[in-house]
Chain A
Amino acid sequence: MSVAFYPGCSLHGTGNDYAQSAHAVCQRLGLDLTELEGWTCCGSTPAHNTSALLSVALSAQNLRLASDQQRDSLVVACAACFNRLRSARHEMAHDEVLRGRVEHVLEAPAPLDVRVDHLLELLLDTYGLDALAARVRRPLTGLKVACYYGCLLVRPPEVMAFDDAEHPTSMDRVLAACGAETVDWPGKTECCGANLSLSRSDIVVSLVDRLLDQAKRAGADVVAVACPLCQANLDVRQTDVTAQTGHRYDLPAVYFTQLVGLALGAGADELGLDKSFVDSRPTLAGWLS
């Protein structure tokens, strides 16, 4: 199977620690994570807020590139890009009229031959948990992780077909294979407020407050995420949470790839652990050589 990596805009910007750690993990596992040549924005929220056609066409354009480059699958790390790309593929497959319009815009047949996979699916299904566990050099024994999936990875279930939408366990299984103890907590698929972060930060603060509270009560040392926006909200907003509610958590929000990378023996710099506001390095010190 030949795959291309779709980083998306965030992973080349604020979320580049996600990209760095994803590359570190794949390199250690011998998984090819070459970027899709000539990729463009998936359209994200602005596009599908403005035009249904535009939002599908932007994602379809990337699928077409992957198809032209003879890739079977586009591997995505950002939950929002993943959602847009899978939705576009779904909509083109189920709506003939829309498919025709997209083909008109692309001036090419709809690229339905390319699959869209999340990095978690790549690790779980293609690489396999046993193989992953066999590569672990520094088991995360004793580290309690609250796996946070948020909304976009799993919803809507008919479209995303990713795990159990109400009770996903993919990330839990991947991190458990790395030796971590994942906690059972109620926040898994609650919303973090997403891009209300800019327009209604009060909502984000209250949602983040609740998520961190739940994770802390469940005994988590860190929250693991699979989305740059979730990471930003959970990490950056902690100071606002403290300022507005008086609750202080100091709970690091890290990318699951950073934890997997740690288990595989990668160092703090290689994984971009220095990039977040709530520094995870003290918590993870035991596993950093």
Chain B
Amino acid sequence: MARIGVFICHCGENIARNVDVDRVAEAAAQIPGVAHAESYRYMCSDPGQRKIREAIVAQGLTGIVVAACSPHMHENTFQNAVEGAGLNRYLCEMANLREHCSWVHSDREEATSKALELIAIMVEKVKRNQPLAPIRVPMTKRALVIGGGIAGIQAALDIANAGRDVVLVEREPSIGGHMAQLSETFPTLDCSQCIMTPRMVEVKNHPRIQLYTYAEVEAVDGYVGNFTVTIRRRARSVDESKCTGCGACTQRCPQKKIASEFDAGMGQRPAIFIPFAQAVPNLPVIDRTRCTMFLKGKCGLCAKACPAGCIDYEQTDTLVTEEVGAIVMATGFDVQPPTLYPEYGSDPDIINGLQFERLLSASGPTAGEPRRPSNGEVPRSVVFVACAGSRDPARGVPYCSSICCMYTAKHALLYKHKVHDGQAYVFYMDIRAAGKNYDAFVHRVIAEEGAQYLRGRVSRIYRDGDQLVVRGADTLSGTALTIRADLVVLATAVTPRPGSDALAQKLSVPYDAFGFASEAHPKLRPVETNTAGVFLAGTCQAPRDIPDTVAQAGGCAAKVLALFSADQLEREPVVSRVNEATCVACFDCERVCPFHAPEHRELRNRAGDLLRVVSHINEGVCAGCGLCVVTCRSHSIDLAGFSDEQTFAEIGALAPF
């Protein structure tokens, strides 16, 4: 005989304002099978939870319905409370009287009767709930980090320093990402290279980090705790084991005029190159799309120049397989090229923020002196344009890129520090400087450095002789402006790295319309994804600056380490199960499952003869979404805790009302 307890929460006034909670409690007590019903101001508080525990013990309750907020908010809280009183945690259900009722209705009478219906539904469900036990799966305590920017580096170091092995995969020939390209960083103006390169070296020397550069994740199989990852190591055409990084090869290469990726096109590199002086690993790579040997079949100058005989034009890609238990995606961002708006034209003296960083960087092509790409002269007047593509739903991206207000202020300041008599103008929409000490930084740039901030948009940029003419509006004074500039720096929009959507698909991680990977919950699970065991660090999830990136990467490391802290993996038992007797082996479930949980299971008799092949859902992988349940044409799949029987009973509960 079911003895259900119903606990109705006022949620302060959130629920009680629109729902007559006392009347609901009285009526709920009359539902068949309900042995106890009461209401309380804050059910989730300690006294509230105590009420539940005491009632379970005193009244011998067999199931609990907490009528309160969304289960996303507090299901775990109440399950723990129920468990504390000796009842299985899966015998506790929530009826959502807040988001689904009081918050969305204004008529108190109607809301009250709806609240009672929601409770009746859950009472019928919980009567049929089965006690469930968590699923335990074995686990490989080794993490894969994809992307070697500051996010990936931080996550890898944090995990490795806590004593767990890490595999770090970086697509480019060197780790470092964008941070290695930056000059000095806001708001403290510490030199980016000086804080970045020691960490890169630490990664390389760490005994617990296996680093693969110039490599990409080809395939991901398995599930949390038990991923098998295939990594493609692209051919460097250089024997890593012999190369000393002397650079003799790069000196001899006849192809000297290739736009350098590291210098964002502001400098040039040969076909065989070390991306930058502090690269990790400090090894050259041949760009086969530009190398004379690969294009014309002859040259070989670098092979002749190399004293160690490392150059290997025949080298091929290799595939390696790694077993890991958790994955951190840290594939970072890109900035758009400065050519989005045709009315700005394309002119060598119109560049984007990243290119300006290279012109400001001591390691850059101008040794840190800002110079005009067109003629190499020092610009006497520079116009910075913020939101040059961001917050423009019509032509660019609708979101705020969140870092450009700050780096633009930094650019204006660094420019003034280097060109004392130069004038910096900044066109902006509004200034978003929400970080610690950020607003003060921007004000310093305006007040002390004399950067002229102009609130408005730039309508057109065109060349007039040796200079650029920038036409725009100053909406504060209501005037149209014409400014002559030597250099224009556009703060173009931050977008995810190309290919990060394809990687997200391999990892079964959803991503938004722009390609940024989606977290499981924007507030409560910001580094987790909907795929168990896969975490997000840095700008692959959303535009952000270095402090936030590092904090988030640390958060990822903590989650990975928490996962690895148990010997076995415990998972929610809300998973699908196949009735092998009725399964007709159509494998529609396999086709619809986004997590690749259904497997083929062979049924054999005692003699070992194959009888049939049926579907079997891997509990370690199943996310309990229920897609297979509704797809299965022979009704052979049920989701634990959400069986057909329960669902129909829930619907039936509405009949008497």
**Does B459 reach chain A (CB closer than 8 Å)?**
yes
Question: By the criterion CB–CB under 8 Å, are A166 and B459 in contact?
Answer: yes
List residues of chain A with CB within 8 A of the CB of B460.
Answer: 166, 186
A157-B394 contact, Cβ under 8 Å, with A164-B342, A166-B341, A167-B343:
yes
Chain B: which residue is nearest A186 at the CB level? B462
Interface residue SS majority, chain A:
loop
Are A166 and B464 neighbours in the complex by a CB distance under 8 Å? no
Does B487 sit at the interface, judged by CB under 8 A?
Answer: no
- Categorize the interface residue count of chain A: 10 to 19
Chain B residues with CB under 8 Å of A188's CB are 343
Contact between chains at A167 and B341 (CB < 8 Å): yes
Q: A166-B459, A167-B342, A217-B464 are in contact. Are A186 and B469 (CB under 8 A)?
A: yes
Q: Indicate whether B471 reaches chain A with its CB closer than 8 angstroms.
A: yes
Q: How far does the Cβ of A150 sit from chain B's closest Cβ, in whole Å?
A: 14
Q: Which residue of A lies closest to B464 (CB)?
A: A217
Scan residues 105-135 of chain A and give those whose CB is less than 8 A from a CB of chain B: none
How near does chain B come to A247, taking the closest CB pair, in angstroms?
Answer: 16
- Asked if A37 is at the interface (CB within 8 A of a chain B CB), the reply is no
- Complex formed: what's the CA distance from A56 to B342 in Å? 33
What chain A residues lie within 8 Å of B394 (beta carbons)? 157
Instruction: Give A153 Cβ to nearest chain B Cβ, in Å.
Output: 15
Q: Of all chain B residues, which has the CB nearest A217?
A: B464
B332-354 interface (Cβ within 8 A of A): 341-343, 345
Determine if A185 is an interface residue (Cβ-Cβ < 8 Å). Answer: yes
Provide the A183-213 mask, 1 if CB < 8 A to any CB of B, else 0: 0111011000000000000000000000000
A185 near B342: Cβ-Cβ < 8 Å? no
A184 partner residues in chain B, CB cutoff 8 A:
345, 462
* Closest Cβ neighbor of B482 among chain A residues: A210
Q: Are A185 and B343 in contact (CB under 8 A)?
A: no
Max chain B Cβ within 10 angstroms of own Cβ: one of A164, A167, A186, A217: A186
A146 to chain B, nearest CB (A): 12
Give complex CA distance A167, B339 in Å.
Answer: 13
Known: A157-B394, A166-B459, A217-B464. A186 touches B471 (CB 8 A): yes
State the CA gap A191–B276 with chains docked (Å): 49
Complex CA–CA separation, A273 to B149 (angstroms)? 65
What A residues does B462 contact at CB under 8 A? 184-186
Q: Looking at B343, B459, B469, which has the most chain A CB atoms within 10 Å of its CB? A: B343
Nearest-CB residue, chain B, relative to A185:
B462
- C-alpha gap A157/B394 in the complex (Å): 9
- In whole Å, how far is A114's beta carbon from the nearest beta carbon of chain B? 27
Chain B nearest CB from A151 CB (Å) reads 12
Inter-chain CA distance A186–B344, complex, in Å, is 9
Residues of A within 8 A of B345 (CB): 184
- Considering residues A167, A185, A189, which has the most beta carbons from chain B within 10 angstroms of its beta carbon? A167
How many Å lie between the Cα of A188 and that of B342 in the bound state? 12
- Can you name the residue of chain B whose Cβ is closest to the Cβ of A188? B343
Closest chain A residue to B341, Cβ basis: A166
Chain B residue numbers with a CB within 8 Å of A164 are 342
Per-position 1/0 for A156-194, Cβ under 8 A of B: 010000001011000000000000000011101100000
Q: Complex: how many Å from CA A243 to CA B49?
A: 89
Residues from chain A with Cβ under 8 Å of B342 in the complex: 164, 166-167
Quote the shortest CB–CB distance from A216 to chain B (angstroms).
12
Give Cα distance in the complex from A157 to B343, angstroms. 15
How far is B457's CA from A166's CA once the two chains are assembled, in angstroms? 13
Chain B residues with CB under 8 Å of A167's CB are 341-343
Q: Closest A-chain residue to B471, C-beta based? A: A186
Chain A residues lying within 8 Å of B341, measured Cβ to Cβ, are 166-167
- Measured in the bound complex, the distance between the Cα atoms of B469 and A167 in whole Å is 16
Q: How far is the CA of A195 from the CA of B394 in the complex (A)?
A: 30
Min Cβ gap B457→A in Å is 11
Interface centre among B345, B460, B464, B469 (most CB of A within 10 A): B460
- Separation of A184 and B342 alpha carbons in the complex (Å): 11
Chain A residue contacts of B471, Cβ below 8 A: 186
In B314-348, the 8 Å CB interface with A consists of 341-343, 345
Task: Considering the complex, give the chain B residue whose CB is closest to the CB of A169.
Answer: B342
User: Which residue of chain B lies nearest to A214 when distances are taken between CB atoms in the complex?
Assistant: B462
Closest Cβ–Cβ distance, residue B560 to chain A (whole Å): 47
Contacts of B343 in A (CB 8 A): 166-167, 188-189
Q: Which residues of the partner chain A approach B464 to less than 8 Å between Cβ atoms?
A: 217
The minimal Cβ–Cβ distance linking A189 to chain B, given in whole angstroms, is 8
For the complex formed, measure the closest distance between the CB of B182 and the CB atoms of chain A, giving whole angstroms: 31
Residue of A nearest to B345 (CB): A184
Measured between C-beta atoms, what is the minimum distance from A214 to chain B in Å?
8
Measured in the bound complex, the distance between the Cα atoms of B341 and A282 in whole Å is: 37
A157: chain B residues at CB < 8 Å are 394
Extra contacts besides A166-B341, A167-B343 (18): CB < 8 Å: A157-B394, A164-B342, A166-B342, A166-B343, A166-B459, A166-B460, A167-B341, A167-B342, A184-B345, A184-B462, A185-B462, A186-B460, A186-B462, A186-B469, A186-B471, A188-B343, A189-B343, A217-B464
Contact surface of A with B, Cβ cutoff 8 Å: 157, 164, 166-167, 184-186, 188-189, 217
18 contacts between A and B (CB under 8 A): A157-B394, A164-B342, A166-B341, A166-B342, A166-B343, A166-B459, A166-B460, A167-B341, A167-B343, A184-B345, A184-B462, A186-B460, A186-B462, A186-B469, A186-B471, A188-B343, A189-B343, A217-B464
Q: Which 7 A-B pairs have the closest CB atoms?
A: A167-B342, A186-B462, A166-B343, A167-B343, A186-B460, A164-B342, A166-B341
